[in-house]
Amino acid sequence: MCVCVTFIAIVDGAITTVALPSIARQFQLTTAALDGVVVVYPVCLAMAIPASAWLVERFGAKRVLLTALGAFLVSSLLCGAAADLGQLIASRAVQGLSAGLLFPAASSLLYSTFNSWEQVRISRYMIVPQQIAPAVAPMLGGLLVDHLSWRWVFYVNLPLGLPAVVFGALFLAGHRGHRPGRFDLIGLLLSAGALGGVMFGVCEGPNRGWSSPSVVIALVLGAVLLAAAVVFELRVAEPLLKLRLFADRLFRDTNLINLVGLVPILGAMYLGPLFLQQGQGRSALESGTSTFPEAFGVLLTVQVAGILYSRVGPRIIIGSGLAMVSAVLLLLATCDQDTGLWTFRGYMFLLGIGMGGVFMPTTVASLATLSRKDLAQASTLNTVVRQTGGAFAPAAVTTALVLSTPTAAAANPPVSAYQHAYLTLAALAAATAVFAFTIPDGPARAAARRTTASGGTAPLRRRHEEAH
* Cα gap 71→107, rounded to integer Å: 18
For 84-136, write each residue's pLDDT tens digit.
888 888 888 888 888 888 877 777 777 666 655 565 566 666 666 666 666 66
The region that residue 62 occupies, defined by phi over 0 for left and psi between -120 and 50 for alpha, beta otherwise, is alpha
Region of poorest pLDDT, from 70-79, 140-149, 254-263: 140-149
Q: What percent of the chain has pLDDT over 70?
A: 80
Q: Which residues contact 371 (CB under 8 A, 6 or more apart)?
A: none
Q: What is the DSSP letter of 279?
A: I
> Domains of the chain: which residue ranges?
1-179, 184-239, 245-468
- In the predicted model, what is the mean pLDDT of residues 407-434? 84
Residue % of the chain over a pLDDT of 90: 13
Distance CA 257, CA 264 (A): 11
Residue 25, pLDDT score? 78
For the stretch 296-311, pLDDT in tens is: 888 788 878 777 777 8
Domains 1-179 and 245-468 share a fold: yes
pLDDT band at 467 (very low <50, low <70, confident <90, very high): very low
pLDDT value at position 327? 95
Average pLDDT over residues 146-153: 81
390 vs 317: CA distance, rounded Å: 21
Least confidently predicted of 17-21, 41-45, 153-157, 253-257: 17-21
Arithmetic mean of pLDDT over the chain: 79
Domain 1-179, CATH 3.40.50.2300 — does that match?
A: no
For residue 454, what pLDDT is reported?
A: 53
Higher pLDDT, 442 or 356: 356
* CATH of 245-468 given 1.10.3720.10, 1.20.1250.20, 3.40.50.11890, 1.10.40.50: 1.20.1250.20
The pLDDT assigned to 392 comes to 81
The answer on pLDDT for 261 being more than 80 is yes
Segment among 159-163, 179-183, 222-226, 423-427 with least mean pLDDT: 179-183
Please, which pLDDT band fits residue 333 given cuts at 50, 70 and 90? very high
